[in-house]
Amino acid sequence: MLNQFDLIIFDWDGTLLDSTSVIVSSLQSAADDVDLPQPSAEDARHVIGLGLSDALEYLFPIASSQQVGLLVDRYFHHYSVYGQRVSLFEGVTEVIESLHTKELLLAVATGKGRSELDNAFESSGLGQYFHASRCADETFSKPHPAMILELMEQFDVEPRRALMVGDTTHDLQMAINAKVAGLGVTYGAHPRESLLSLAPLDCVNSIVELNLWFETNV
């Protein structure tokens, strides 16, 4: 059904940026540096999409405040090293450009901090296409609905006219909490069955499928 949305909100990591493996490796390496038990890849993937403080609290519940501070520093160190090989998923730029030509409102809601997202916007070249964004260090972290609610208020968009696109259950639960539609992508951090358990409009398996979905529905 065409023209059913005015505002499309994207997650960043694992949805537009192919960064899942780098985030996992950075979290594991940070744990090694601070002599804390290394989280499994599954647990590290689970926290992707959360704000970093929430992610670290989930992964390292026994860590002291000093250790958490060290974890943050070491995570950013390793991400800066590993992140040199991170890039957008192939075809993402074309998808965003196509949506932009339809004069839709485009936004990002991410667990990244503001400085991280601004750097990502600049390095990827995608920043010019987004009308607004919200980061975890500016408001409540996912799955709290604040990011979506603030974006809808900014553009005076009703919930029925907004769509959240993401690769994690945190994204889809945030959509549910904000009473907006959700679209899952299965090529990121969380498995298809986990996404489907939250009853999104659909789940797509690739950027090609994502583009086709948009061509049919927006």
Q: Would you say residue 159 lies in a domain? A: yes
Please write the tens of the pLDDT for every residue from 115-173.
999 999 999 999 999 999 999 999 999 999 999 999 999 999 999 999 999 999 999 99
Residues 52 and 140 grouped into a single domain = no
Per-residue pLDDT reduced to its tens digit, 77-92: 999 998 788 899 999 9
Beta strands in the chain (DSSP E): 7-10, 105-110, 132-135, 162-166, 181-185, 202-204
How are the residues of the chain apportioned to helix, strand and coil, as percentages rounded to the nearest 5? Answer: 50, 15, 35
Q: Does the predicted TM-score (pTM) go above 0.85?
A: yes
Q: Do 101 and 54 fall into the same domain?
A: no
Position 2 in a domain: no
- Residue 164 within any structural domain of the chain: yes
Examine the domain organization and report whether 61 and 141 are in the same domain: no
Does residue 81 lie within any of the structural domains?
yes
- Domain contains 106: yes
Would you say residue 134 lies in a domain? Answer: yes
pLDDT score at 83: 78
The per-residue pLDDT for 3 is 80
Residue 1 lies in a domain: no
Identify the pLDDT of residue 12.
98
Say whether both 48 and 12 belong to one domain. no
pLDDT single digits (tens) 181-197 = 999 999 999 999 999 99
What share of the chain has pLDDT > 70, as a percent?
Answer: 100
Residue 172 resides in a domain: yes
Of 30, 55, 85, which closes a domain? 85
Strand-pair category, 105-110 with 181-185: unpaired
Structurally, how many domains does the chain consist of?
Answer: 2
Compute how many other C-beta atoms are within 10 angstroms of the C-beta atom of residue 93: 16
Give the domain extent around 79: 20-85
- pLDDT tens by residue, 14-63: 999 999 999 999 999 999 999 999 999 999 999 999 999 999 999 999 99
The CATH number of the domain where 163 resides is what?
3.40.50.1000
> What pLDDT sits at residue 85?
80
